[in-house]
C-alpha cells in the first residue's frame, strides 16, 4: 500500500502570542514535539516539518527526532509556500508517496488515532480529500490523495489549501474532531489549555 506522509507547518511568526507557539509546553512536551510524536505513532512517512520564523530555535528541539526539517525562506508570503516546500521535500524523499496529511502544530488535541481515522476514511470511501470537521468548517489536519499533489504544488498566498477544499466537495469526506477548534493563538488560549489539565 502506498505510504501516507505528513507536512507539519511550523513556520508562522506567532505574532499574536509574541513568542513561538511551536515551543509552548503542554503535558511535558512542546506543541511541536507532541504532533511529531503522534505522527510517528501513526506511521506517517515521510514526516516533514516546515520551519520559517524562528527556525533555529524550532529546529533545535527536533534534534534526534525522526523527521525531516525544511526551511521555507518564503514563509512571509503565507501558508501556501510552506505546503509547497513540504510536499516538494516529501516527493523528493519518496516519489511514490500516495497521500499527504497537512497539519499545524497549534492544535494540541491532534492524535495518532485521528491520523488513523483520516487514512481509514480515505480507504473506505475512496475519496481524494479527507478533512476534520469542527466549528462548522472542514479544516486541518486534512489528507490529500496524490491526485491533488499537482494542485497543492501550485497554490499561493495566505489561504493555503482552503481553495482546493472549497472546490472539490464531491471528492471530500470528513471525520469529526470537535477539539479541532481549540488552537493556540494568544496567551489567553494557552492559559485556557493549561486550565484543562489541572
pTM: predicted TM-score of the whole model, two decimal places: 0.94
Pairing of strands 99-104, 4-10: parallel
Distance of CA 180 to the CA centre of its chain: 12
Whether 4 has a pLDDT exceeding 60, the answer reads yes
Domain range for 156: 4-196
The Cα–Cα gap between 118 and 101 comes to 9
Distance CA 9, CA 83 (A): 7
Amino acid 1: pLDDT = 57
- Please, which pLDDT band fits residue 157 given cuts at 50, 70 and 90? confident
CATH number, domain containing residue 19: 3.90.550.10
Residue 31 banded pLDDT, cuts 50, 70, 90: very high
Contact 55, 130 (CB under 8 A): no
SS3 43: coil
Into how many domains does the chain fold?
Answer: 1
Which residues make Cβ contacts (< 8 Å) with residue 98, sequence separation at least 6?
1, 2, 3, 4, 145, 146
- Main-chain dihedrals φ then ψ at residue 128, nearest 5 degrees: -80, -25
pLDDT digits (tens, 9 = 90+) for 44-85: 999 999 999 888 988 999 988 889 999 999 998 888 999 999
What's the rounded Cα separation, in Å, for the pair 11 and 9?
6
Amino acid at each position: 500500500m502506498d505510504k501516507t506522509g505528513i507536512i507539519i507547518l511550523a513556520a508562522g511568526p506567532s505574532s499574536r502570542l509574541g513568542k513561538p507557539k511551536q515551543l509552548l509546553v503542554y503535558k511535558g512536551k512542546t506543541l511541536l514535539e507532541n504532533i511529531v510524536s503522534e505522527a510517528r505513532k501513526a506511521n506517517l512517512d515521510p514526516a516533514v516539518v516546515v520551519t520559517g520564523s524562528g527556525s533555529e530555535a524550532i529546529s533545535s528541539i527536533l534534534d534526534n527526532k525522526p523527521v525531516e526539517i525544511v526551511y521555507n525562506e518564503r514563509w512571509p508570503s503565507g501558508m501556501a509556500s510552506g505546503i509547497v516546500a513540504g510536499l516538494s521535500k516529501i516527493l523528493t524523499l519518496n516519489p511514490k508517496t500516495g497521500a499527504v496529511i497537512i497539519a499545524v502544530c497549534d492544535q494540541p488535541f491532534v492524535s495518532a488515532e485521528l491520523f488513523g481515522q483520516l487514512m481509514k476514511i480515505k480507504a473506505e470511501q475512496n475519496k481524494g480529500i479527507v478533512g476534520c470537521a469542527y466549528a462548522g468548517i472542514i479544516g486541518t489536519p486534512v489528507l490529500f490523495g496524490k491526485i491533488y499533489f499537482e494542485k497543492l504544488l501550485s497554490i499561493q498566498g495566505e489561504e493555503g489549501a482552503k481553495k482546493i477544499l472549497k472546490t472539490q466537495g464531491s471528492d471530500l469526506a470528513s471525520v469529526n474532531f470537535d477539539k479541532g477548534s481549540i488552537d493556540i493563538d494568544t496567551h489567553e488560549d494557552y492559559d485556557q489549555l493549561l486550565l484543562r489539565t489541572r
